[in-house]
A and B are shown apart, each in its own frame.
Chain A
Amino acid sequence: MNGNRTRLFDVAVIGAGMAGMATSLFAARRDLSCVQVGNGGGILFASGLLDLLGVHPVADRRRWDCPFEALSSLRRDLPDHPLARVGDDALRAAFEAFVSELGAVGLPYAPLDGANHPVLTSIGTVKTTYAVPRSMMAGVEMMRSRPSCLLVDFRGLREFSARQVVAKIGADWPGLHSVRVEFPGFEAVSELYAAHLARAIESAATRDSVAERVRPLLGDATAVGFPAVLGLSRSGEVHERLQQSLGLPVFEIPTMPTSVPGLRLKDAMEAALAAWRVVRHVQAKVTKVSFDDDVATLSLDDVPGGQTIRARSVVLATGRFTGGGLSAGRGHVSERVLDLPVHQPGTRGEWHRRDFLDPAGHPVNRAGLATDGDFRPLSADGRPAWHRLFATGSILAHQDWMREKCGSGLAIGTAWTAVEAISRGLQAPRKAG
């Protein structure tokens, strides 16, 4: 990577979570040369389900069957919400592009139909989401019609209990049954780890053996649910073959983070970025960014003595508190890379409401960077901090993605819009003078 010192990139993305990945991918797809800095582990908290917008307003916990209807409501109620600034067409195009890229590297998603889908979770609750991995899609159909259905779990895999799921949802789904089987080859192991099973089941012998152990237990089931351990890099193939050998639709139930679908998403994103020739510094942190008229210089700490990369535009996709983009001090919240002004409640006393589980959420959950319409963060004087500095994903202010079920939508939608603006800006003729 010695050449990166002198190379001038079109885009430097700081952060490798969902927003950083989406931004890098969209930039590279537009033939912008892109460098990404950041530990890629954060994306492991993803479930593989890509939400667009599920709940609004959060205080009423109102779920929407159509995310675009939810969006128009959101635009009326919260015009400053970042998603409110992304058009429907842009969101559709962004999601289509995102899942087709994932499909191209071996992580297929069910076709997008503009609707939200109910997904059964590993604790028996129902989650509303938009884009569903193909390996989980049969479960959505089962959730809707609720026929006789078998849930399988593996002895020793602590993060998934089929019995618990049935106990939670069984009253509303009488045909749902659970069985427990030994995972072939792991009979002597007391504690199983999902990723190990996911790798093991990629071998045809193990897969057939799982099918053989489940087949006698099928009864009158019309579909079979497994914890999400059906393959890591070849999950599409494992799912397909398992359906063939069982003769029934098979679906995965997403498990608690960090999960195998998170690993798949990480691996797939990395493969997609590699295919688009995005340069990545995965074990690096940005320690400093300096700007001159047209070029930003980022200092990295991944080699002794540090190194620098140069880019014509910078995207801050560093996330909020867990991602390390924001940091909460005693008195106020600050932005960690550039110390940009953070939109936040006036005093610490106003960060949280009285009730921790208040469905309306807490004001500090909507803290973040205020931006203009192109997602350029604003400095204290209300003007963009630098003319080609952008921010995408959860670091943006005025949203509460966890309660609104819009994390992926926020990342993918703002990334799309920001990259469009970058592309426009880089093509525009330089201002004279």
Chain B
Amino acid sequence: MSASSFRIAVYIALGLCALGLLWRLSAWLRVRIGPDARAIPFHRRLASALHGAFSFAFSRRLPGVLKAFLLDVLLQRRLFAEAKVRWLGHLLILLGFTALLLMHALAALLTQKLFKGYQPTLDPYLFLRNVFGAMAVAGIVLVIAGRRRAQRVAPTAHRLGDRVFVALLSIVMVSGFLLEAQKIASPAAFQRMVDEYFGEDISPEDLSALKAAWAVDYGVAFEDAAADPDPALLETGRELHKDACASCHSLPTSAFVSYPVSRVMGPAVRPLDDVDAAKWLWYLHVFACLLGLAVLPFTRLFHAISDPVSLLVNGAASSRPLSDAGRASRRALAIDACVRCGLCDTRCSVAPIARFMNNASLLPSHKLLSTFRFAREGRGRLRDGARYDRIAEGAFLCSSCGRCTERCPVGLGLDDLWTAQRDDLAAAGHPAAAKWVQSRTASEWADLLPAPPGEGPAVAPLSSDRRTFSPCVQCQTCTNVCPVVAHTAGAGDGVDLTPQKVMNLLRLGMVDLALGSRMVWDCATCYQCQEHCPEGIRVTDVMLELRQSAYRRLATVRDRRRPE
């Protein structure tokens, strides 16, 4: 490839990257999550973001923010607290990748100008390149291992771009090492250098002496290399090497990764020379780099931009609450800043329910993506109601314990995001079960339910067992101590049945009539009734069980509802 066509390729990649970045960055101001965010136009969010950034840069909070940048962004203290192995892996990738980028990829722009006598084949550069490359590879292995471990606890959501980055990075690293190994052992490369340096000015005797030295010291796989060269010849070769080559070539043992690889490749290097392998490996290496650059905004690497911004916005928001517009933008930013590490899923307090209900959209990392899809597809284009019912099930089973927010290694404001998602779902006709149940009265629900009433002991052990409620003497204690009854008394939407009436319905075998009742659904599960019941009836446990039964059974006839 000529220098000019290489340059053109770089510019194309840079241009694509810039366009992509513009698109992705603008999404932080475009994507609307939550009914409150829908009311805020683009220009107000832009103004708010600019104003925020400006006031932030010129405030006394700057030292604190710089500290946050150092601890949160560079040293990743949040990740360190949550997952040590992945923190180490991440740090290795970050350091190795950045160092390679600056020292190696941008050598022409930086290293060459800063360090006189820079040669990629000279120490310390040769050695450092292997160090950085090894760090990055080790980091990738550690991160993947840590992720595997998290996956065993809960399946983590992912997007296509997540894997593209890891794949490209792996290709760059592996092709880089292979390229170096191939060049170390390649007789063709040796010949090219000899031709370039000596031209015609080298005698055949000198050439064979030099070859002997390079075969022994550099492991170049000459076809005609003697296994045990003449010591005098070797000595001559080494002298020649010292004069001609040593100023540009450190010993290959410094390349502690590539050199052993080249030894392993051994004689295979020659046939590879025949097909010009070094050239193709170089193409692969550079093409993967440029492709990575071009699609950067759509891969995991984008988190290198979105996460620092997110963490700095956190820093700003910690001292002064964000405006409505700022909050709306922060939600969109959170979608991009999530790296789907899956740590939230492993900490989620309702994760066991996700397994039990076989509904992964309950887990935070999945919810984040469904939140985004919902925002993108919009309320008007809901084609797949059942899918959204599933998402809503997950969204409303969330117990809002806040553990995902608290422990997110990139500090995303997930709690706010989930609230916005729930509001969005409710507004689009997928509200919480306790809401859609209210579309009919308890007796209307009972009429809708298909014939075989009740459920067996396997799913409803309490309400299907007469012994649970037969001791009830209807003393009203449960009702007397019920804060829900007390609170809604007098209000127009008071509970329809009191707890002791629910018990009475069970005694009468009219379970179906209790399922849609407001008492069952509004129960705060404070356990006052159960703790006070003079007969020791597990009133609250029964309420909970009825609610579960109702959720299962009423959902089957739910589509006959919706008067739209």
Name the CB-closest residue of B to A200: B486
A–B Cβ pairs within 8 angstroms, 12 of them: A41-B477, A43-B534, A186-B489, A189-B494, A192-B489, A193-B479, A193-B485, A193-B489, A194-B480, A196-B486, A199-B486, A258-B475
Distance, CA A44 to CA B529, complexed state (A): 12
What residues on A are CB-neighbors of B530 within 8 Å?
Answer: 283
Question: Interface digits, A185-227 against B, CB 8 Å rule (1 contact, 0 not)?
Answer: 1111100111110010000000000000000000000000000
Out of B475, B476, B494, B536, name the residue touching A39 (CB < 8 Å). Answer: B536
Whether B531 lies near A195 (C-beta < 8 A) is no
Q: Does B563 contact A (CB under 8 A)?
A: no
B358 to chain A, nearest CB (A): 24
A393 to chain B, nearest CB (A): 15
Q: How large is the interface on A (under 10, 10 to 19, 20 to 34, 35 or more residues)?
A: 20 to 34
Q: Does B533 contact A (CB under 8 A)?
A: yes
What residues on A are CB-neighbors of B533 within 8 Å?
Answer: 39, 41
What residues on B are CB-neighbors of A185 within 8 Å?
Answer: 490
Q: Does B481 contact A (CB under 8 A)?
A: yes
A250 to chain B, nearest CB (A): 22
What residues on A are CB-neighbors of B535 within 8 Å?
Answer: 41
Name the CB-closest residue of B to A44: B534
Q: Does A263 contact B (CB under 8 A)?
A: yes
What residues on A are CB-neighbors of B477 within 8 Å?
Answer: 41, 44, 258, 263
Whether B480 lies near A282 (C-beta < 8 A) is no
Q: Does A345 contact B (CB under 8 A)?
A: no
Whether B531 lies near A189 (C-beta < 8 A) is no
Whether A266 lies near B486 (C-beta < 8 A) is no
Q: Does B507 contact A (CB under 8 A)?
A: no
Q: A41-B536, A186-B489 are in contact. List 6 more A-B contacts (CB 8 A).
A: A39-B536, A189-B490, A193-B480, A193-B489, A199-B486, A260-B480
Q: Does A45 contact B (CB under 8 A)?
A: yes
Q: Does A40 contact B (CB under 8 A)?
A: yes
Whether A41 lies near B479 (C-beta < 8 A) is no
Distance, CA A40 to CA B530, complexed state (A): 10
How many chain B residues touch A (CB < 8 A): the figure is 18
Out of B480, B490, B536, name the residue touching A195 (CB < 8 Å). Answer: B480
What residues on B are CB-neighbors of A43 within 8 Å?
Answer: 534
Whether B485 lies near A196 (C-beta < 8 A) is yes
Out of A187, A188, A258, A282, name the residue touching B476 (CB < 8 Å). Answer: A258
Q: Does B78 contact A (CB under 8 A)?
A: no
Q: Does A42 contact B (CB under 8 A)?
A: yes
Distance, CA A40 to CA B475, complexed state (A): 15
Q: Does A247 contact B (CB under 8 A)?
A: no
Name the CB-closest residue of A to B491: A188
What residues on A are CB-neighbors of B531 within 8 Å?
Answer: 39-41, 282-283
What residues on A are CB-neighbors of B481 within 8 Å?
Answer: 195, 263
What residues on A are CB-neighbors of B479 within 8 Å?
Answer: 193
B463 to chain A, nearest CB (A): 18
A388 to chain B, nearest CB (A): 27
What residues on B are CB-neighbors of A282 within 8 Å?
Answer: 531
Out of B475, B476, B489, B536, name the residue touching A189 (CB < 8 Å). Answer: B489
Name the CB-closest residue of B to A260: B480
What residues on B are CB-neighbors of A359 within 8 Å?
Answer: none
Whether B480 lies near A196 (C-beta < 8 A) is yes
A343 to chain B, nearest CB (A): 26
Question: Interface digits, B487-523 against A, CB 8 Å rule (1 contact, 0 not)?
Answer: 0011000100000000000000000000000000000
- CB proximity to B under 8 Å, residues A385-424: none
Name the CB-closest residue of B to A196: B486
